[in-house]
Amino acid sequence: MAKYVWILVLVGAASLGLSAYIDLYYFPPTVVFGDELRFLRSASHLAETGEFSVAGARAWEMPGTAIFIAGFIRVFSDAQAALLPVRLVQAVLVVLQAVMVGLTAQRIFKLRSAGAAAFAMVALYPFFLFYQGLLLSETLFNTVLVAAFASLYWWRERAFRIDGVFFLTCVLFGLATMVKPTLTIAPPVLIASLTLTARSLRLTIRALVLASVTYAAVLAPWATRNYLVLHAFVPFTTSASENLYLGNNEKNTTAGISWMEDVDEAVVARLRSIPDEVERQRAFGALAIKYIADNPVVFLQRAGQKFVRFWNIVPNAPEYRGSLYRIVSAVSFGGVLTLSIISLLIWRRQLADFAPLLLLVAYFSAIHMITIASLRYRLPLEPFLILIAAGAVSAMLPKSGRVHHGFEKR
């Protein structure tokens, strides 16, 4: 047992070491992408004024990432000085993700080897190591989302009692949405779906209702703040309509995500000149919906192209199509995807255990087939694909101790 623990400690240390190397030597001491600069500027504005704003837009994105980065800016008194500390803390978050995914895998498969495999795969996964070095929302969002699912399966271990763990799960899902809005109204359904393993309709309905109320309560301060500053009901963000338009307009023939190539720049300039933030987004949304209604066949064709982009095992972006990036991506994500499919076949008799995970995969896929798709938007699914894949890895390893948890016997 001691040897087993030391191996996991060494894997965790290797993850931190690789992340530190990437942070110090791979990335420059400045932001790399435009989205990083946006997050850094909104965090700086928040730290200086106490007001959340993205280039003047008051609800363009959820505030979680800006709040996270603003804390470092206040401590280090400078946005540039905060850059490396944020990266190094995100390196720690990757290891925390690995711990939580490992524990959840052990709970699902009842095998220590599955937990160890999941831990190691997350801790050393190239995409997680890369993204922790960027000031984006992905690493923070992944961490809170993984924590929400870890709490969800812990709740099942407690025989679905409506207790503190249940409410912790709801709160964590709410906090994840405060970082990234993609979840929208999905969390209560995800929570309730796991109760299907108990085969109690009453329990499922009760969980759905209570989760909906608690989740809404967590998001209520943000929606209330938006109503006060925008004088309109905005439960999530005002940027969703722009993404819908980017993915659905007559100039986008490749399902791309470029504001330089995949839109009519004159139309975008006209819409962005609308001074009211809410009205501006309504205009983007109306134009996108009209295009979809007028071109349903094209919309379905583009959705298929977005599905391919979303699930591509090699990078879509031209700057990352070099042979090294393609090999790393194909081996890492391609291997995880293959192993997760094999695992579902091996453990097909307990597919209900995977219901929330599979629903999350289906939901994210659908959202990005409707709006815009890229490998970056798939990243939140990859800890859970690794979790599932760990079941196949454990089946290939020598027999290991089976872990039993209270109310459930297999």
pLDDT of 3 higher than 90: no
Predicted model pTM: 0.95
**Token pair 């134009």 is at which residue?**
287
What's residue 1's pLDDT?
60
Average predicted confidence (pLDDT) for the chain: 93
Cα–Cα distance between 226 and 236 in angstroms, integer? 9
pLDDT digits (tens, 9 = 90+) for 229-246: 999 999 999 999 999 999
Any idea what the Cα angle at residue 244 is, between residues 239 and 248, rounded to 5°?
Answer: 150
pLDDT of residue 6: 82
The count of C-alpha atoms lying within 13 angstroms of the C-alpha of 49, restricted to the half-sphere facing its C-beta, is 12
Tokens matching residue 83: 């850059």
Q: Quick: pLDDT tens for 19-31.
A: 999 999 999 999 9
**Comparing C-alpha atoms, which of 114, 50, 47 is closest to residue 81?**
47
Tokens of 87: 């990266």
Read off the pLDDT band of 409 (50, 70, 90).
very low
Query: How far is residue 179 from each of residues 3, 53, 68, 186, 196, measured CA to CA in Å?
Result: 38, 14, 9, 15, 28
pLDDT at 306: 97
State the average pLDDT over residues 274-280.
95
Closest CA to 212 of 185, 182, 183: 185
CA distance 238 to 89: 29
Higher confidence at residue 108 or residue 320? Answer: 108
Q: Which pLDDT band, with edges at 50, 70 and 90, does 86 fall under?
A: very high
User: Does 188 have pLDDT greater than 50?
Assistant: yes
Strand partners, 408: 405
Q: How far is CA 302 from CA 246, 247, 369, in A?
A: 12, 8, 8
Q: What mean pLDDT do residues 365-379 have?
A: 96
Residue 239 φ/ψ, nearest 5 degrees: -90, -10
Long-range contacts of 191-194 (CB under 8 A, 24+ apart): 191/152, 191/356, 193/355, 193/356, 193/359, 194/152, 194/153, 194/155, 194/156, 194/355, 194/356
What is the pLDDT confidence band of residue 407, given thresholds at 50, 70 and 90? Answer: very low
Q: Residue 399 pLDDT > 90, yes or no? A: no
Q: State the helix-helix crossing angle for 382-396 and 112-123, rounded to 10 degrees.
A: 130
**For the chain, what percent of residues have pLDDT higher than 90?**
88
The predicted pLDDT at position 316 comes to 83
**Could you give the CA distance from residue 9 to residue 125 in angstroms, rounded to a whole number?**
16
Strand partners, 405: 408
pLDDT at residue 318, as a whole number: 76
CB contact at 8 A, 145 and 189: no
Residue 153 has pLDDT above 90, yes or no: yes
What pLDDT was estimated at residue 101? 98
DSSP code of residue 159 = T
pLDDT in tens, 321-371: 678 888 999 999 999 999 999 999 999 998 999 999 999 999 999 999 999
* Residue found under tokens 């091996």: 346
Per-position DSSP letters for 274-316, written without gaps between them: -SSHHHHHHHHHHHHHHHHHH-HHHHHHHHHHHHHHHT-SS--
- Per-residue tokens: 375: 């490998």
Percent of the chain with pLDDT over 70: 96
Q: Which of 260, 261, 262 is nearest to 247 (CA)?
A: 262
Which two three-digit tokens encode residue 392? 């196949």
Q: Is the pLDDT of residue 406 over 60?
A: no
Q: What is the pLDDT of residue 184?
A: 95
pLDDT at 2: 66
Would you say residue 410 has pLDDT above 50? no
